[in-house]
Copies of this chain bind each other. A is one copy, B any other.
Amino acid sequence: MPESSSSFSAESYFATQPPPPGLEHDIEGVKEFVRRQQEKGRNIVLVTSGGTTVPLELNVAYGQLRPSVRFLDNFSAGTRGATSAEYFLKAGYAVLFMHRQFSLQPFSRHYSHSTNPFLDFLEIEPGVEERSSFTASGAGSKGSQICVTLDKRETLLEVLTVYKAVHAAGTLHTLTFVTVNDYLWLLRAVSQELSVMKRKAMYYLAAAVSDFFLPRQKMAKHKIQSGKGSLHIEMDQVPKILKPMVDNWTGKDGFVVSFKLETDPALLIPKAETSLQRYGHQVVIGNDLNRRKFEVVFISWKDALPSSSIDTADSSSSFAESWLRIDPYDHNKEIEEDIVAELVKRHEMWIAGGTTSIKP
């Protein structure tokens, strides 16, 4: 198989690939959000969530993918990111939620149109004129009321209460990406804006990012022709951006958490350690594809933790691993609650400066 890939560094990537049109507007919103949270003295976490796409044709308008457009996609519903964002909000963090368009979002994630459609638990009650505050005014529906079925009411009230509180406090700001190019530009710009927070910013990189992309310069000749035999696509590798993110964009002060998803359990720890060694950030959360809902492992620098939090640490190794497990059969418990609690604790140590990180 011919090898004709050009190799992109993060620098050459941003020098040659065009920024998404909405970027400046998005960044204005982030600036304003960061300013408000600084005034309130809150910590901020950037949560990235969902998969990225790689468009294969040029006729893609930002924010408005045309129906004829074909693209390569990484599947991720965005459960980890959306769930974690909720727990960060409950822990008092301000959350920049940067997610793939149409992936799950905090709060509304509980009411997927496919699995828990909200229309199913709304009921129409025939009108009683006196209860005017519940009266619909539409012709033909005079006096009818909409109410929530009893068994769903408690959960909805809980979700709604937190949702309203978060909106009132202004602690959630949502950003949307579609393509891997949108993602990379947005991640860089948001990280740079967040760097003014110094150690009070956390970066929780849960999005499933494509390893490959199609450089804009190659797109025209790759435009797909239907009806002309088979389809050939040749792609380049997406540059590794964790290194510049840790060293430059966040000014070495951010608390950076990345994820490693594997299908082979034997690879999980070594690959997570390699990642930490290579990029010099704070935590890699390793998860096995089939166990990720109830088991994760935190890989971090041994000397960044009190020995009580370390499960296993080879004395010859710089790394510590801590396992986090919940009961797989307890459907009222989400592992993200514990992941976030552990990270909040570690982030506090990081902010207090009580931990040092070996940054190679």
Contacts and interface: CB of A to CB of B under 8 A. Distances in A.
B70 A72 contact: yes
Given A101-B114, A141-B154, A5 B229 contact: yes
Interface in A70-102: 70-76, 101-102
Given A118-B118, A144-B157, A289-B68, A232 B229 contact: no
Nearest to A158: B138
Contact of A71 (B67, B72, B164, B261): B72
Contacts of A131: 131
A118 B154 CA distance: 17
A138 B154 CA distance: 5
The quantity of this chain's copies bound in the complex is 2
Contacts of A107: 119
Nearest to A118: B118
A17 to B, nearest CB: 16
Given A136-B153, A159-B119, A237 B232 contact: no
Interface string A140-183: 01001011101001101111110110000000000010000000
Nearest to A137: B154
Contacts of A1: 232
Interface residues of A, number: 77
A51 to B, nearest CB: 8
Given A119-B107, A131-B131, A212 B230 contact: yes
A56 B69 contact: no
Contact of A153 (B137, B148, B232, B263): B137
B134 A146 contact: no
A138 to B, nearest CB: 4
A122 B107 CA distance: 13
Given A67-B261, A71-B75, A138-B153, 5 more contacts: A72-B73, A105-B114, A119-B160, A124-B164, A136-B153
Closest 10 CB pairs of A and B: A5-B230, A138-B154, A231-B235, A211-B226, A108-B113, A233-B233, A136-B157, A65-B75, A212-B231, A5-B229
10 contacts: A67-B75, A67-B76, A67-B289, A133-B147, A138-B153, A146-B156, A146-B160, A212-B224, A230-B235, A232-B232
